[in-house]
A and B are shown apart, each in its own frame.
Chain A
Amino acid sequence: MTSKNAESILIKELTPAMKAEEARVEAQRCLYCYDAPCIQACPTHIDIPKFIRQISTRNLTGSAVTILEANAMGHSCARVCPVEALCEGACVYLGWHEKPIEIARLQRAATDDFNQGISASRIDAAPLFSRSPLNGKKAAVVGSGPAGLSCALYLARLGYGVTVFEKRDKPGGLNTYGIAEYKMAQATALDEVRLVRAMGVEIKTRVAVGRDISPKALEAQFDAVFIGVGLAGTHRLNVPGEDLAGVFDALTFIRHIKDREYSRIPPGKTTVVIGAGNTAIDAVTQAKRTGTPRVIMAYRRGQKEMPAYAYEFELAKKDEIEFLWNAAPVRILGRKKVEGVELARTERKGGALRLIPGSEFSVACDRVIGAIGQSKHAAFLKTLPAIELDGSGKIKVDPKTLRTTNPKYFAGGDAINGGREVVNAAADGKRAAWGMHQALTGQKTPPSEHEYWISTIEGRLVSPPKDFHNDPHGQKRQKIRA
């Protein structure tokens, strides 16, 4: 990266923050639906009409608390959630052919203010969230991604002494290292960790479980363990030439930008990205922003089978990315460094995808980025005693409590779902915290000071007004008699 200007192009935010007035005007547009569909569409069941009303009444701290009660990762979710498919996609305005409420940007307005308030010592976050006295029990959280941090925060609130183990230099997991910088800055992910720490959670970075501390030692020191290790590195392409200079996996490529290691990713002339998931979109759009004039996305299946969200695909189109459909890499060309990639056309034959013989063609390029999904932490997970994995390598859990087949272990996030959204991981962390508490204490009824956030685990329904009539799903009216 040669100039400040070039850097600003690379990391310029995709979605800008709202000005205070803009947020209030948008908040006032919210109808404050009863039993709002947006709440149901959110995996963490944030009371969205409530936090929006709090913005409209200039109660930004209250708004942030409403968000963070239900979703400890609300600050990052405001930027990275696929809201078109979740809350905003459920907005009743859509049924009216009107623009839905900009829930994500409103959420950001609230959590930005909250985090700025913490750093300016205007807001003392800890007293805003109920926290039980320390109960003497200890919990370990392996991995400081969204699932782990979420679990740690709620466990701390329930009175546990919580230690998070993170093998990398910085906490935050994929939020810190794996989301395109122009969608969410690394600083945002790190800001979010402050609330977790403020609740008394200890985060030990550069400590890898299995390397620096054994699972056995964890079991000895802690009453329960939450596994939130996510997925491992990007799958290898498994084609010749993969180890040439200029070949990257998508997550490493993105991490270099997030860590400001620009010298490791010179723009070059042409980049070919293999894959068509959301991470592939991050890779092509980021590659374009490094100043690469020509960026090509090659996918072995057809456009209709592309796993990326439609609006992600739109981002790529806006960046003038070229697309190669039904094209699979055969080998990467070059002597010392990448000079091109050879691809072959594919077709469906009896349901199976196969390369068409003789259809090979090559594209000259100086960088290849593999973005064909992440592998599982198979080796590590196998070292955990009595934890069963399913056929695809995901940890098996009880869906109610997220307890694994080893009663001392709970798990959530990508490690159990194979790779979903930050908001799913956050919801898992919350569910596992309550599951762990129930298992360790036998308590089945939420303590009153935690009733609210626990009610958001299963999806919080606004209590329906008591039915006075013949509603078969309501309750009969309680009559007051003289």
Chain B
Amino acid sequence: MTRMDKNGKKSAPDLTADCGGIKSPNPFWLASAPPTNSGEQVMRAFDHGWGGAVWKTLGEDPAVINTTSRYGAIDIGGQKMAGFNNIELITDRPLEDNLREIREVKKRYPKHAVIVSLMVPCERKSWHDIVKRAEDTGCDGLELNFGCPHGMSERGMGAAVGQVPEYVQMVTEYVKEAARTPVLVKLTPNVADARYAARAAQKGGADGVSLINTINSIMGVDLKSLVPKFAVGGKAAHGGYCGPAVKPIALHMVSSIRADAECRNLPISGIGGVSNWSDAAEFMLLGASSVQVCTAVMHYGFRIVEEMIDGLSHWMRERNFSKVSDFVGLSAANVVDWKKLNLHHKTVAKIHPDACIQCQLCYVACNDTAHQCIAVDRAGGNRVPHVIEEDCVGCNLCAIVCPVEGCITMEPVATGHPELTWEEYMAKGMKGYREVYKRFHG
């Protein structure tokens, strides 16, 4: 419940987050990536308001060598960096330098969450050693990088581990044998079903999972040189794809783990295209107890967190959520299998003529590509389309293509029919369905 101050006004919502036992002043963490490659960066981020940072992945010395030309992006319409990718490996700084800086950051920012991302070969001793050295810094938790899809996976690490549930479990067990702080397992989306790796992590004793890591990707081909875009000296390796365009994929994977009977209580740190407070709220409603951000800060810098904190606070206040745990997972139950959807639910499109600017995008979209239920009566020079309600299947396409907010709304229509799911329909021997739209034009 919302707390009131003595004047009866709602007090500021409490943004404190707890993900698998890792506590932070707010749920906004920087993901393990270039923005968290040094103490100086992480401290600057904390100064701007970031609640936590997952340090760029540490490995064994000697440190890796990176290529020049590392990042790529696609712009969609006017949106720069709608999708982003990289072929950077784990940190290329000496292990001792990173550890020293982590220790120093933790000392200076004791309340912020500093999580150390780790990746070493799949050997018990290697993991025990790195866990010990990382935890000696005073960090708040560990994240096991089983997701990196490029370069490191060719060396039997990163996604090469995350794609094999048995390895996930085995390495998680190695880590848990040595770890004293909470352990998050970072999952790869480059699998058919993220739940297997999540279950394996849970069996291995993980305190939570973080997802999604980046997706295998080629960013395009330069049509002048005929070489893939963002190549390294004329050759390109696939990189890891992320940014706003991947958010729906990430949301699905988060919700699938949250809904899984075996993983229902496994804490999740949500990653994948989080760019603002509402993205964060969506991840959290589907089950994430913190979110991690990279592409958006690589686009705009650390200060975006100021708006994220502000936006989330206002939304929580309006919704009467006093703390983040009030809404984490609240929408997860509304994600179900298709067979549980009500076949008797009906919506139809309504075009509000006063708002219509007569671009006719709804008209052509419906007729060319959807269900042919929008017409334009051109009598008298009219250009405003109208919906043929008896044929409208309520597909949403017209409302989606309409450039004017609120011009086309999807209106619920009471059918008077009892709820009927496909599951129930099949159980009744395919009986009981009454048409809510005209399915066949005789």
CA distance A470 to B391 in the complex (A): 12
CA distance A467 to B388 in the complex (A): 12
A28 and B361 contact, Cβ closer than 8 Å, known pairs A469-B375, A471-B375: no
A465 and B77 contact, Cβ closer than 8 Å, known pairs A473-B377, A473-B378: no
User: Is there an interface contact between B359 and A33, defined as CB atoms closer than 8 Å?
Assistant: yes
User: Is there an interface contact between A31 and B361, defined as CB atoms closer than 8 Å?
Assistant: yes
User: Is there an interface contact between A472 and B377, defined as CB atoms closer than 8 Å?
Assistant: yes
User: Is there an interface contact between A468 and B367, defined as CB atoms closer than 8 Å?
Assistant: yes
CA distance A29 to B373 in the complex (A): 27
A31 and B359 contact, Cβ closer than 8 Å, known pairs A25-B78, A96-B404, A469-B388: yes
Tell me the chain B residues, 356-407 only, with Cβ under 8 Å from chain A. 357-361, 363-364, 367-368, 372-373, 375-379, 383, 388, 391, 403-404
User: Is there an interface contact between A92 and B358, defined as CB atoms closer than 8 Å?
Assistant: yes
CA distance A465 to B404 in the complex (A): 22
Among A34, A465, A469, A473, point to the contact of B391 (Cβ < 8 A).
Answer: A469
User: Is there an interface contact between A465 and B363, defined as CB atoms closer than 8 Å?
Assistant: yes
* Nearest CB in chain A: distance from B148 CB, A: 33
23 A-B contacts (beta carbon < 8 Å): A28-B78, A31-B359, A32-B361, A33-B360, A34-B363, A35-B360, A35-B383, A92-B357, A92-B358, A93-B357, A95-B358, A464-B376, A465-B368, A468-B367, A468-B373, A468-B441, A469-B372, A469-B388, A470-B388, A471-B375, A473-B378, A473-B379, A474-B375
Nearest residue (CB) in B for A93 is B357
* Nearest CB in chain B: distance from A421 CB, A: 24
A470 proximity list for chain B (CB < 8 A): 375, 388
CA distance A34 to B383 in the complex (A): 10
A464 proximity list for chain B (CB < 8 A): 376
Q: A37 on the interface (CB 8 Å rule)?
A: yes
Nearest residue (CB) in B for A470 is B375
Tell me the chain A residues, 17-47 only, with Cβ under 8 Å from chain B. 25, 28-29, 31-37
A29 proximity list for chain B (CB < 8 A): 78
Closest 10 CB pairs of A and B: A465-B367, A34-B360, A34-B364, A33-B359, A468-B372, A95-B357, A92-B357, A473-B378, A471-B375, A31-B359
Q: How large is the interface on A (under 10, 10 to 19, 20 to 34, 35 or more residues)?
A: 20 to 34
* Nearest CB in chain B: distance from A21 CB, A: 10
A92 proximity list for chain B (CB < 8 A): 357-359
* Nearest CB in chain A: distance from B341 CB, A: 27
CA distance A471 to B388 in the complex (A): 10
Tell me the chain A residues, 334-364 only, with Cβ under 8 Å from chain B. none
A32 proximity list for chain B (CB < 8 A): 361
| Residue in A31, A465, A466, A470 with the greatest tally of chain B CB atoms within 10 Å | A465
CA distance A122 to B432 in the complex (A): 67
Q: Number of B residues contacting the other chain (C-beta, 8 Å)?
A: 24
A96 proximity list for chain B (CB < 8 A): 357, 403-404
Nearest residue (CB) in B for A58 is B223
Q: How would you classify the secondary structure of chain B's contact residues: helix, strand, loop or mixed?
A: loop
CA distance A36 to B358 in the complex (A): 9
User: Is there an interface contact between A34 and B375, defined as CB atoms closer than 8 Å?
Assistant: no
A36 proximity list for chain B (CB < 8 A): 359
B391 proximity list for chain A (CB < 8 A): 468-469
CA distance A29 to B403 in the complex (A): 10
* Nearest CB in chain B: distance from A304 CB, A: 29
B403 proximity list for chain A (CB < 8 A): 31, 96
B360 proximity list for chain A (CB < 8 A): 33-35
CA distance A469 to B368 in the complex (A): 14
CA distance A18 to B318 in the complex (A): 45
CA distance A259 to B372 in the complex (A): 59
Nearest residue (CB) in A for B403 is A31
* Nearest CB in chain A: distance from B22 CB, A: 42
Against A, the Cβ 8 Å flags (1 = close, 0 = not) of B209-235 are 000000000000000000000000000
Against B, the Cβ 8 Å flags (1 = close, 0 = not) of A77-114 are 00000000000000011011000000000000000000
Against B, the Cβ 8 Å flags (1 = close, 0 = not) of A446-478 are 000000000000000000111111111110010
* Nearest CB in chain A: distance from B73 CB, A: 15
User: Is there an interface contact between A465 and B78, defined as CB atoms closer than 8 Å?
Assistant: no
CA distance A479 to B440 in the complex (A): 12
Among A25, A33, A468, A479, point to the contact of B361 (Cβ < 8 A).
Answer: A33
Against A, the Cβ 8 Å flags (1 = close, 0 = not) of B231-244 are 00000000000000
* Nearest CB in chain B: distance from A279 CB, A: 34
Nearest residue (CB) in B for A49 is B359
A467 proximity list for chain B (CB < 8 A): 375
CA distance A466 to B376 in the complex (A): 11
User: Is there an interface contact between A34 and B388, defined as CB atoms closer than 8 Å?
Assistant: no
Nearest residue (CB) in B for A92 is B357
| Residue in A36, A37, A464, A468 with the greatest tally of chain B CB atoms within 10 Å | A468
Nearest residue (CB) in A for B385 is A34
CA distance A28 to B357 in the complex (A): 18
A473 proximity list for chain B (CB < 8 A): 377-379
Nearest residue (CB) in B for A464 is B376
| Residue in A35, A36, A467 with the greatest tally of chain B CB atoms within 10 Å | A35
A95 proximity list for chain B (CB < 8 A): 357-358
B378 proximity list for chain A (CB < 8 A): 471, 473
* Nearest CB in chain B: distance from A282 CB, A: 35
B357 proximity list for chain A (CB < 8 A): 92-93, 95-96
| Residue in B367, B388, B391 with the greatest tally of chain A CB atoms within 10 Å | B367
CA distance A35 to B363 in the complex (A): 10
Nearest residue (CB) in B for A25 is B78
Against A, the Cβ 8 Å flags (1 = close, 0 = not) of B110-131 are 0000000000000000000000
CA distance A96 to B356 in the complex (A): 8
A33 proximity list for chain B (CB < 8 A): 358-361
CA distance A466 to B375 in the complex (A): 10
B383 proximity list for chain A (CB < 8 A): 35, 37
B441 proximity list for chain A (CB < 8 A): 468, 477, 479
* Nearest CB in chain B: distance from A328 CB, A: 42
B358 proximity list for chain A (CB < 8 A): 33, 37, 92, 95
| Residue in B358, B359, B363, B377 with the greatest tally of chain A CB atoms within 10 Å | B359
Tell me the chain B residues, 157-175 only, with Cβ under 8 Å from chain A. none
* Nearest CB in chain B: distance from A454 CB, A: 24
B363 proximity list for chain A (CB < 8 A): 34, 465
CA distance A36 to B373 in the complex (A): 21
A466 proximity list for chain B (CB < 8 A): 367
CA distance A37 to B384 in the complex (A): 13
CA distance A93 to B360 in the complex (A): 13
18 additional A-B pairs beyond A33-B359, A468-B372, beta carbons within 8 Å, are A28-B77, A31-B403, A32-B361, A34-B364, A92-B358, A93-B357, A95-B358, A464-B376, A465-B368, A466-B367, A467-B375, A469-B372, A469-B391, A470-B375, A471-B377, A473-B378, A473-B379, A474-B375
